[in-house]
Amino acid sequence: MDDCIFCKIIEGDVPCDLVYQDDKLVVFRDIRPKAKTHLLLVPKLHIKSLLEVQGEHGDLLSHMMLVLPKIAIDAGLKTGFRTVINTGPGGGQEVDHLHLHVLGGGLAKF
Ligand code: DGP
């Protein structure tokens, strides 16, 4: 997607603080962190949001969930972390490329 900032990051056209990548996803630090540690786990495949997820994406979503705790632990979040997926305008999604926020350190309860 030409106008997608996360696709540009995945392509290497926009710099990021990369934490992890494999053939299916990238993880980098959020440019506007909401916690001491704030990572974005982003599939390389451009899926707009959870509203566009199809059955064919099952393996990818499963991979994201399986990689997530390993990434969080490697980032120092050994006692736990928060995951957030904003979806659509009603969910406060700003970047229209599916991504999972991983937050830890200094979190308020909600
Ligand atoms: P969301 O509201 O769930 O769509 O969150 C999008 C997040 O993406 C937001 O916390 C800020 C972050 N973000 C936006 N543009 C960039 C960027 O160019 N680089 C990085 N690292 N993060 C970005």
Q: 66 CA distance to ligand 1 centroid (A)?
A: 22
Q: 59 CA distance to ligand 1 centroid (A)?
A: 24
* Nearest protein CA to atom 19 of ligand 1, as residue: 31
Q: 95 CA distance to ligand 1 centroid (A)?
A: 6
- Asked whether 49 lines ligand 1 (CB < 6 A), one says no
One CATH from 1.10.10.60, 1.10.3720.10, 3.30.70.260, 3.30.428.10 for 5-104:
3.30.428.10
Residue 20 pLDDT more than 80? Answer: yes
User: How far is residue 2's CA from residue 7's CA, in Å, rounded to a whole number?
Assistant: 8
User: How far is residue 34's CA from residue 60's CA, in Å, rounded to a whole number?
Assistant: 26
Mind telling me the catalytic residues?
Answer: 99
Each residue of 46-95: pLDDT tens digit? 999 999 999 999 999 999 999 999 999 999 999 999 999 999 999 999 99
The neighbour count for residue 70, using CB atoms within 10 Å, is 10
- Asked whether 94 lines ligand 1 (CB < 6 A), one says yes
Which helix (H) or strand (E) is 74 found in, with range? helix 58-74
Contact 20, 44 (CB under 8 A): no
Q: What is the pLDDT of residue 2?
A: 78
Q: What is the pLDDT of residue 81?
A: 96
User: How far is residue 24's CA from residue 48's CA, in Å, rounded to a whole number?
Assistant: 16
Domain boundaries, the chain: 5-104
